[in-house]
Structure 1
Amino acid sequence: MFIPFIKRLAIFVLSIHLLFAIYIAFGALYVKWANPTMSMYMCARSHFDLEHVQTPKFIPKDVVPNDLQTAIIGIDDPSFNIHNGITENTALNNASISQKVARTMFLMPHNNNLGKYLESIAAIEMEMILDKSRIFELYLNYAEWGENIYGIGEAADYYYKKDIDKLSRRQKIKLASVLAKPLKVDPSTYDQDKMVEARFDLLNKYMK
């Protein structure tokens, strides 16, 4: 009896993985060309009260200042351009940009090993379908910068009442820094968290 049970369990697990892979493939193909008005993550954050989901102000990647792009990649995922979707954890970063995009676009908020496992699978598959430029563009436009604040355009407008090309060097550094803990600190309180403050200090030292 034990061996048939193991076989059924293995088939069930493989079936779940296959269905998940199909879901991610269709999702990745969709966002390859489309800019969704909301994501699964955003809906879950709003407790599926869709009327209160703030549609991100989509900003093409080429419009985002180069120094801000460099700051975000440098502090969030320095190996972004060479890894296959997953990066090693560091003191200032706990997931790759690809993993964060997979989580934001296709998954629910989580803080458990299962969720991290699923986002890792999704990130690897997503990198097979999307190029790095598009993945980073999705990150810039759907990353969480505070409660119901998604995307660099919305963040610049909400915190500074400015377009992103009008941000000062210090404002850019603050926005890049708080991406680590967007629900705990904001650009005005970044120094209340040691890790976020460390990110700020590092960027302030090296960002030209």
Structure 2
Amino acid sequence: MFVPFLKRLAVLTIVAHISFFAYIALGSLYVKWANPSMSMFMCVRSHFDLNNVITPKFIPKESIPNDLQTAIVGLDDPSFKTHIGYSQKSAPNTKTISQKVARTMFLFPHNNNLGSYLETLAAVEMECILDKNRILELYLNYSEWGDNIYGVGEAADYYYKKDIHNLSRRQKLKLASVLAKPLEVDPSTYDKNKIVEARFNLLNKLMD
């Protein structure tokens, strides 16, 4: 009885993986050319009440200030340009930008090993389909910057009532810093969280 059970389990595992890879491949091909009005992460965060989801203000990567891009990549994933979706050099429980994009676009919010496993598989597959510039563009435009605030363009407008190109250096650094804990602090309260405050101080020192 035990051996047939293992065989069935093996078959189910293989079928589940194939289905998952197909889902990620189709999703990656879609976002390679299209800018969806919302992501899977956004749908779940809204409890699938899609009428309450604010469509991100999509800004092409080349139109986002380079210093803001540098600050975000430098804090969130310094090896972004060289890894293949995940990085063994990352600190424990630290996700790459590619893993975060895979979770945001295709998966549910999670805090468990299965979610992390699927996130890593999705990130590696996604990197085979999308180039780094597109992955970073998706990250900047669909990341969570607060409750129902998605994308750097929406964040600049919500917190500072400014176009992203009119942000001061300090405002850019605060936006980059709070991306670590977007539901706990915002740019006006960044110093209430030690991790976010440390991110800001590091950026302020490095980009001085």
Shorter-chain TM-score category? Answer: over 0.9
Q: Which residue of 1 aligns with 2:113?
A: 113
Report deviation, 1:90: 2.8
The CA distance in 2 between the partners of 1:198 and 1:163, in whole Å, is: 26
Letter of the aligned partner of 2:183 in structure 1?
L
- Aligned counterparts of 2:178 and 2:7: Cα–Cα separation in 1: 47
Structure 2: runs of 5+ lacking an equivalent: none
2:38 maps to what in 1?
Answer: 38
Provide the alpha-carbon RMSD of the alignment.
Answer: 1.1
> Where does residue 100 of structure 2 map in the other structure?
100
Q: For 1:35, what is the secondary structure of its paired residue?
A: coil
1:109 aligned partner, one-letter code:
P
Rounded to whole Å, the distance in 2 between the matches of 1:16 and 1:81 is 30
Q: Secondary structure at the match of 2:179?
A: helix
Alpha-carbon separation, structure 1, partners of 2:94 and 2:139: 15
CA distance in 2 between counterparts of 1:165 and 1:90 reads 33
Name the amino acid aligned to 1:57.
K
Deviation digits for residues 183-203 of structure 1 (CA, Å, limit 9, x no counterpart)? 111111111111111100100
* Distance apart, 1:89 and its partner CA: 3.3
Q: Distance in 1 between matches of 2:81 and 2:62?
A: 17
Match in the other structure for 1:201:
201
Matches within 5 A, 1:60-139: 60-87=60-87, 88-90=89-91, 94-139=94-139
Q: CA deviation at 1:2?
A: 1.6
Equivalences, count: 207
Distance (whole Å) between structure 2 residues aligned to residue 89 and residue 44 of structure 1: 27
Cα distance in 1 for residues equivalent to 2:57 and 2:130: 21
Distance 2:146 2:123 in 1: 23
Report the equivalent of 1:164.
164
Separation in structure 2 between the aligned mates of residue 89 and residue 163 of structure 1, nearest angstrom: 33
The equivalent of 1:48 in structure 2 is: 48
Name segments (4+ residues, structure 1) moved above 6 Å.
none
Matched with 1:28 is 28
- Percent identical residues: 72
Q: CA deviation at 1:3?
A: 1.5
Q: Distance in 2 between matches of 1:112 and 1:53?
A: 26
